[in-house]
Chain A
Amino acid sequence: MPFLKKDNFQRDALIGVFVWFFLIIFYHIFPYPGIHDIIQKVFILGLFAMSLNILIGYLGLIAFGHAAFFATGAYTLGLFLQSNLVTNFGGFSIPIAMVLAVIVSSALATFIGIICIRLKDIYFSFLTLAFQMLIYSIILALVDITGGDQGLMGGFPKPPFLGIDLGNPFDFYAFTIFISLITIIMLRQLIESPFGYGLRMIRDNSERPASLGFNNQRHKLIAFIIAGSIAGLAGSLQALLDVGAYPEWAFWAKSAEPLFMILLGGMHSFLGPLMGALIFEVLNDFVTANTRYYGLVLGLVILSFVLGLRKGLLDWLLIKFYRK
């Protein structure tokens, strides 16, 4: 049945619409701001982790500087909304700012990607780390523009557009989830397309596709740019949520977070990183509510996943109950 095929767009769109309505009904049934906040963050961080998983899970490239694009998206949106341009664009400011955030982070990803994809293995990881820390240092050095180590302070306006007022918690919740679901559905199309299988082919045996006349480097670069722009989109949503942008978002520890999510959820299933984001956020919320020693608990959980389960939770569930 074509409807059940993995790359069926109508099926995915239907599931997306269903999930969206379900979460909106959920919002009204459970009126607890804490839970809504977790769900929003799971989608934002899930987008971030899923974008990194294009490189890690499907391409086998361990990028360790992915937060650079997250921060670029956040700062682009914040700086645009703080500028005088908002008065010119009025109601269209937020959509324009988000598009701009994606464009700027994909431009940065193009520049960094062209240089990084020439390197392999550990050298690739170190170069992405170096670029990220260079961007972190630039953010700290440009005090006049970025606010240095204080971050983008003073907030920014969020003018309503198309009847959506992001200052309103419900509008923000529905909007964030809507944008995330659309991105996830598009990503699914990409991953199940011939291009996506090309990425898996490069991961599994890079010499074979190359000898078949396949342009490995171009595939890697396109994947890198797409991953960077989705991370930028996630960063812009995070900046809208926090009404600011902070240099820690460009620090290397921020790049470790999506790695944890990918590990917890699973890198070999499409929605694994999203599930990882859910585990990560719930753990974060539960542990910080009970103890100050969050790092200790997170460290032990990661250790038990690395040495015990040896794969992400969704990967494990799929192998146990579905893929047999």
Chain B
Amino acid sequence: MEFFALLDCIISPACLISQTAGGLKIAMLLFLVASGLTLVFGVLGVINFAHGALYMLGAYFSWQVMSITGHFGLSVILGALGVGLFGLLFERILISRIYNSDLLVQILLCYSVVLILDDLVMIIWGDEFLSSLGLPEIFQVPPLFIFDAIIPPFHIAIITISFIVATFLWFIMAKTKFGRLVRAAAINPKMLEALGVNTNIIKAAVFMLGSFLAGLGGALAASLGSVVSGMGNSILIESFIVTVIGGMGSISGAFLASLIIGMARSFGAIAMPLFTDGLMFLIMVLVLVLRPQGLMGNKK
């Protein structure tokens, strides 16, 4: 454990700012993916173990669009939309059969889909790492220097995109009719049905939105690093951590928890390089023991 290294970093503005920016980038990318997971759990009551596989699909889809068109914005949007459509089919064909099944059945069904998708992308795109097709030209500029801290413009772009999505998500959930219906479906779906609302459509739409968010995270990640089968596994576990810490089903909780995990990863990498992952799980254990409903969850 190198706590002095951490101390050195905190008192130096350059290190502090670059680590904070790095943590923010991790946090916002994580929030995109985790918000989809927590939304699906909150409304559908399903733990979507295949969420990481959807993230991976987003990366592959956007890589494919990028290699055909070479347009960054198009590849991200089409990649995410493609995963949204895939999610809709997935929900209609498989997930809708297990709404009332127990947890074990849900885990096994989703995990079998993970196994299938991991191999399918290998069959379609090969099992080599697909390297990122590079950043779009507007981001190929010298990095920003703030107090000697180096911040790549693309990280700022990712933080901004995620922030816009977060605001948009909040707006949909809090201010629109659809958002009110979704919240009502989460609390009392039977009552909503009695009032003449088709909750199946709402469930399908929420799952589609959740898949879209996972796909968007994957599409952005594809431009940062390489694309490979099984790349969704680690983000799946991190999304679980965020969901649990924030409170299952709470989007604002997921936002707070993403920030905590992002900073823990960024600064933990300096203090305990070998135990960065362990730190996240330690936080998860502490939250579950001290406040099982999560930081911003409601006690049932």
A residues adjacent to B (C-beta < 8 A): 56, 62, 64, 115, 119, 121-123, 125-127, 129-131, 133-134, 136-138, 140-141, 143, 148, 252-253, 256, 259-260, 263, 293-296, 298-300, 302-303, 306-307
Known pairs A119-B288, A129-B240, A293-B122; A302 contacts B278 (CB<8 A): no
Contacts of A260 in B (CB 8 A): 108
Contacts of A256 in B (CB 8 A): 111
Contacts of B244 in A (CB 8 A): 126, 130
User: Which one, B111, B233, B278, B289, contacts A141 given CB within 8 A?
Assistant: B278
Interface string of B56-73 (1 = CB under 8 A from A): 000000000000000000
Is B145 part of the binding interface, using a Cβ–Cβ cutoff of 8 Å? no
Which of B22-30, B113-121, B252-260 faces chain A?
B113-121
Contacts of B187 in A (CB 8 A): none
Complex A-B: 27 CB contacts under 8 Å: A56-B104, A62-B102, A62-B104, A122-B47, A122-B248, A123-B292, A126-B288, A127-B285, A127-B289, A130-B244, A133-B281, A136-B277, A138-B278, A141-B274, A141-B275, A148-B274, A253-B233, A259-B108, A295-B116, A296-B115, A296-B116, A296-B123, A299-B112, A299-B115, A302-B109, A302-B112, A306-B112
Contacts of A263 in B (CB 8 A): 104, 108
Is B282 part of the binding interface, using a Cβ–Cβ cutoff of 8 Å? yes
Q: Are B108 and A302 in contact (CB under 8 A)?
A: yes
User: Which one, B97, B111, B277, B278, contacts A307 given CB within 8 A?
Assistant: B97
Q: Are A299 and B47 in contact (CB under 8 A)?
A: no
Q: Are A119 and B292 in contact (CB under 8 A)?
A: yes
CB nearest to A294 among chain B residues = B119
A141→B278 CA distance, assembly (Å): 9
Tell me the minimal C-beta distance from B121 to chain A in angstroms: 11
User: Which one, A130, A136, A306, contacts B285 given CB within 8 A?
Assistant: A130
Known pairs A123-B288, A133-B277, A137-B275; A303 contacts B103 (CB<8 A): no
Tell me the minimal C-beta distance from B55 to chain A in angstroms: 17
A256→B292 CA distance, assembly (Å): 23
A137→B277 CA distance, assembly (Å): 6
A-B pairs with lowest CB-CB distance, top 6 = A137-B278, A299-B115, A299-B116, A296-B119, A295-B115, A302-B112
User: Which one, A127, A134, A253, A300, contacts B278 given CB within 8 A?
Assistant: A134
CB nearest to B103 among chain A residues = A62
Interface string of B238-267 (1 = CB under 8 A from A): 001100100010000000000000000000
Interface string of B91-114 (1 = CB under 8 A from A): 000100110001111011101111
CB nearest to B248 among chain A residues = A122
Give the one of A122, A123, A126, A141 with max B CB within 10 A.
A126
A131→B113 CA distance, assembly (Å): 25
Contacts of B104 in A (CB 8 A): 56, 62, 259, 263
Contacts of A143 in B (CB 8 A): 274
Q: How many interface residues does chain B have, given as a range?
A: 35 or more
A96→B122 CA distance, assembly (Å): 46
A141→B241 CA distance, assembly (Å): 20
Known pairs A134-B278, A141-B278, A299-B112; A306 contacts B105 (CB<8 A): yes
- Given pairs A137-B278, A302-B111, 12 additional interface contacts (CB within 8 A): A127-B289, A131-B281, A133-B237, A133-B277, A134-B285, A137-B281, A140-B274, A148-B274, A295-B118, A296-B116, A296-B123, A302-B112
A179→B113 CA distance, assembly (Å): 36
Q: Are B107 and A303 in contact (CB under 8 A)?
A: no
CB nearest to A301 among chain B residues = B112
Is B296 part of the binding interface, using a Cβ–Cβ cutoff of 8 Å? no
A307→B292 CA distance, assembly (Å): 32
Contacts of B114 in A (CB 8 A): 299
A302→B115 CA distance, assembly (Å): 10
Contacts of A127 in B (CB 8 A): 285, 288-289
CB nearest to B113 among chain A residues = A299
Contacts of A148 in B (CB 8 A): 274
Is B182 part of the binding interface, using a Cβ–Cβ cutoff of 8 Å? no
CB nearest to A132 among chain B residues = B281
Contacts of B237 in A (CB 8 A): 133, 252
CB nearest to A256 among chain B residues = B111
Q: Are B274 and A300 in contact (CB under 8 A)?
A: no
A248→B175 CA distance, assembly (Å): 46
CB nearest to A307 among chain B residues = B97
Is B158 part of the binding interface, using a Cβ–Cβ cutoff of 8 Å? no
Known pairs A119-B288, A121-B103, A299-B114; A126 contacts B274 (CB<8 A): no
Known pairs A123-B288, A130-B284, A133-B237; A259 contacts B107 (CB<8 A): yes
A168→B277 CA distance, assembly (Å): 40
A141→B122 CA distance, assembly (Å): 31
CB nearest to B243 among chain A residues = A126
Contacts of A122 in B (CB 8 A): 47, 103, 248
A255→B256 CA distance, assembly (Å): 29
Tell me the minimal C-beta distance from B41 to chain A in angstroms: 9
Contacts of A302 in B (CB 8 A): 108-109, 111-112, 115
Tell me the minimal C-beta distance from B4 to chain A in angstroms: 18
CB nearest to B47 among chain A residues = A122
User: Which one, B109, B115, B120, B292, contacts A306 given CB within 8 A?
Assistant: B109
Known pairs A62-B103, A62-B104, A127-B289; A307 contacts B109 (CB<8 A): yes
Tell me the minimal C-beta distance from A155 to chain B in angstroms: 25
Known pairs A122-B47, A137-B277, A143-B274; A300 contacts B288 (CB<8 A): no
Give the one of B107, B113, B115, B274 with max A CB within 10 A.
B115
Contacts of A133 in B (CB 8 A): 237, 277, 281
Tell me the minimal C-beta distance from A56 to chain B in angstroms: 7
A256→B119 CA distance, assembly (Å): 17
